[in-house]
Structure 1
Amino acid sequence: MGKKLVSLDHVVFNYEGSDSHAINDVSFDIYEGEWLAIVGHNGSGKSTLAKLLNGLHFASSGVITINGSELTQATVWEARRKIGMVFQNPDNQFVGTTVEDDVAFGLENNGIQQDIMAERVKRALMKVKMDAFLDQEPHHLSGGQKQRVAIAGVLALQPDIIILDEATSMLDPRGREEVLETVRELKEENVLTVVSITHDLEEAAKADRIIVMNKGQVHREGSPIEIFRLEDELIELGLDIPFSVKLSKALQKTGLDLKNDHLTEEELVKELCELHSKM
């Protein structure tokens, strides 16, 4: 594990007027350079956690620490400089008339000098492979392209952590893969810390670590392989394991000597080809 960036210590959160805890005694850490997926069914508390991490809500009790500073109303703006968020619907995030204007918006609000801003915008769009669309109107882009521009807008602000709050849930399979591949590359190139809030375990399979939420609590925590081995338990929680893991298990039951749990279809196909070449 790298440096500890965020720590949640016995965090509790109640929505006003509710008798039950939306988040109930949650403790975990987020480390520099990791991809953490927080998964759960609707109402499990995962999206509330995202809002707590970004200071959109504040804990009823317990402590959230970001880079050694407690997250409070007094420190929230400093925390938001360290944590960027990409939301579910890309159309709700655009404020500029062009891609360039949109990525520059957050920098302008932070008073960044014009020459520095222009360089950051260009560099951020290059990193998500959208620099050729600089002068395009955002509504002409595909869903996946819009989310990549939204990610560029966050990257330009140079945060330590990027939170994807169901950021691929409204995309078609191609758009979803575009965004996840972009995030994977950014994480590897920039030592960017990623927190993915999702109900899609295909997306969670790409993470280094998974936290499973249920009824506002941390139900399970582990690597993708460790979590996907809890197949029946996940199904009871309203979740499902990735297709590649299901198929791998089914093939093993037929007698195929497959050595590994396969988190992606590419991994499964590779081992099947290797097995076939030995026959």
Structure 2
Amino acid sequence: MNQKVLVSVENVSFRYNEEGDKALDDVSFQVKEGEWVAIVGHNGSGKSTLAKLLNGLYFPNEGSIIIDHNVLSEDSVWETRKKIGMVFQNPDNQFVGTTVKDDVAFGLENNGIPREDMIKRVEYALSKVKMLSFLDQEPHHLSGGQKQRVAIAGVIALKPAVIVLDEATSMLDPQGREEVLQLIKELREQKMTVISITHDLDEASKADKIIVMNKGKVYAVGTPAEIFQLDKELIEIGLDIPFTIKLKSELANKGINLMNVYLSEEELVTELWTSHFKK
């Protein structure tokens, strides 16, 4: 059965001013229902501009963005924003409520959701991110990872078609980052559609599909295994490849050749043990 296309970016070009270079140049891709798609690139690659366009902060000079059958435009932007939920870098900048439940309820109140339905949605969303026991907690008492999970709950409560994470783990410590990545994985397993915009290829390695941006263009699209076969090219365009890919290359230099692309340290260690060291 064919998956429904929820986001379609069609030949999109954009420049911030008439004299400047194009920040995006003829960009096209699709995101299907239930996919986790990571959009990666170095600073200046166009990925942050793409996030702004997906949220309707800017509109394409050329081409179109279609979200769940709605063409994004100045006329449709408020209706389209209901289809796409954004989570940003700094969790501290996203809190408006005095308690966790107030914060998750804020967007629902703005959308005129009845109180009884609101209570159910708040509890449902917080249970999804494993933060229900923090319902009455003050946000400033939470860790960075917990704050970001609450921010994601606020988006889930609005029931968007797509969740966009714009560098949502970049300001977290390693534990907080791991909490959020595990949550994204669980959301994807629950058939939620996720777009993560990131410069971190370790994070992107967990996605279903990676879109590599470079100089405003789509440089490559594929599964993590397909993309990481371009290891030297990724380095040349300013990306820091995952540790397992670096280690595989170093092992090859030492005469230990591994056939596959390994996306986790566990996979790599298991292959080394079974194929080279186990007697």
Note the C-alpha offset of 1:241: 1.0
CA distance in 2, matches of 1:175, 1:108: 28
- Equivalence for 1:207: 207
3-state SS of the aligned residue for 1:62? strand
Superposition pairs of residues 126-275 of structure 1, within 5 angstroms: 126-189=127-190, 191-256=191-256, 258-275=258-275
Structure 1 length as normaliser, TM-score?
0.95
Show structure 2 runs of 5+ residues with no match.
none
8 Å CA contact 2:38, 2:198 repeated in 1: yes
Amino acid at match of 1:172: D
Sequence identity, in percent? 65
Amino acid at match of 2:84: I
8 Å CA contact 1:13, 1:22 repeated in 2: yes
Root-mean-square deviation (CA), in Å?
1.6
8 Å CA contact 1:213, 1:219 repeated in 2: yes
3-state SS of the aligned residue for 1:210? strand
- Equivalence for 1:64: 65
Amino acid at match of 1:265: E
8 Å CA contact 2:231, 2:245 repeated in 1: no
Show structure 1 runs of 5+ residues with no match.
none
Deviates more, 1:63-72 or 1:246-255: 246-255
3-state SS of the aligned residue for 1:129? coil
CA distance in 2, matches of 1:276, 1:231: 23
Q: Deviations over 1:42-76 (max 9, x none)?
A: 11110110111111111111111122221111111
Note the C-alpha offset of 1:174: 1.0
3-state SS of the aligned residue for 2:13? strand
8 Å CA contact 1:231, 1:240 repeated in 2: no
Superposition pairs of residues 95-106 of structure 1, within 5 angstroms: 95-106=96-107
Note the C-alpha offset of 1:275: 4.3
Note the C-alpha offset of 1:17: 5.5
Q: Does 1:5 align with 2:27?
A: no
Q: Deviations over 1:140-177 (max 9, x none)?
A: 11111110000000000011110000000001111111
Amino acid at match of 2:203: E
3-state SS of the aligned residue for 2:220? strand
Amino acid at match of 1:196: S
8 Å CA contact 1:245, 1:264 repeated in 2: no
Amino acid at match of 1:56: L
Note the C-alpha offset of 1:256: 4.1
- Equivalence for 1:16: 17
- Equivalence for 2:88: 87
Deviates more, 1:17-26 or 1:57-66: 17-26
CA distance in 1, matches of 2:232, 2:258: 21
CA distance in 1, matches of 2:256, 2:231: 20
Q: Deviations over 1:70-127 (max 9, x none)?
A: 1111111121111101000000000000111000100010011111111111111111
- Equivalence for 1:27: 28
3-state SS of the aligned residue for 2:82? helix
3-state SS of the aligned residue for 1:97? coil
3-state SS of the aligned residue for 1:58? coil
